[in-house]
Amino acid sequence: MAGSRAAIRYAKAILALAQDQKAGEAVAKDMDGIVKTVANSKDLRLMLNSPIVKAEVKKSALQEIFTGTHAISEGLIDVLVANKRIDLLGDVATQYAILFDEAQGKQVAVVTTAVPLTDTLESKVLAKIKSLTNNEVIIENKIDESIIGGFILRLGDMQYNASIANQLNNLKRSFSQN
């Protein structure tokens, strides 16, 4: 939990700096690349989290991996290395993307279903969410067969759980209390 709060703080600072320098879009592209690279490389994650690898080695490796990035993105790496928080790089980049989208009036709604959403259902969900939030919403559909049916909608820090599995658990809890 403390790591995520720190990641949000770093992301807010980077976003403010990027907006001041009118480089929000360029930094957003860099952060997207960082998120994908860290997520797809187990070796990179291990190196970032390793207490054995020296900070200078981590910094030089990251500079090699992320060549051609904006000066603000390079500065983030320098600050995280200096503060001994380089293990937060992926989290900071993810939080930056979320904050940047919110600043642009966009939100990502994660809809978890047991089967993939059809185009018509997706458009209905999109229209309903857009009417509730008045923001541009992007739907990300996650498939989780364990929810049996229904859906789970997550928008920002709000969640609505209309899954069959949740209803069964509520029913089970109600029976066990009586």
- Same domain (yes/no): 98, 19: yes
Name the pairing type of β-strands 158-163 and 150-155: antiparallel
pLDDT at residue number 80: 95
pLDDT(1) > 70: no
d(CA 93, CA 14): 10
- Same domain (yes/no): 11, 82: yes
Structural domain for 123, as ranges: 106-177
Q: Which of 84, 102, 120 is the last residue of a domain?
A: 102
- Same domain (yes/no): 87, 110: no
pLDDT(102) > 90: no
Q: Which of 61, 85, 102 is the last residue of a domain?
A: 102
Q: How many domains does the chain have?
A: 2
- Three-state DSSP class for 99? helix
C-beta atoms surrounding 112 within 10 Å: 19
d(CA 151, CA 96): 27
Q: What is the mean pLDDT of the chain?
A: 90
Q: Which of 102, 131, 165 is the last residue of a domain?
A: 102
CA angle 141, 145, 147 (to 5 degrees): 90
Model pLDDT for residues 59-97, shown as the tens digit of each residue: 999 999 999 999 999 999 999 999 999 999 999 999 999
- Here the CATH number for the domain that contains residue 41 is 1.10.520.20
- Same domain (yes/no): 30, 75: yes
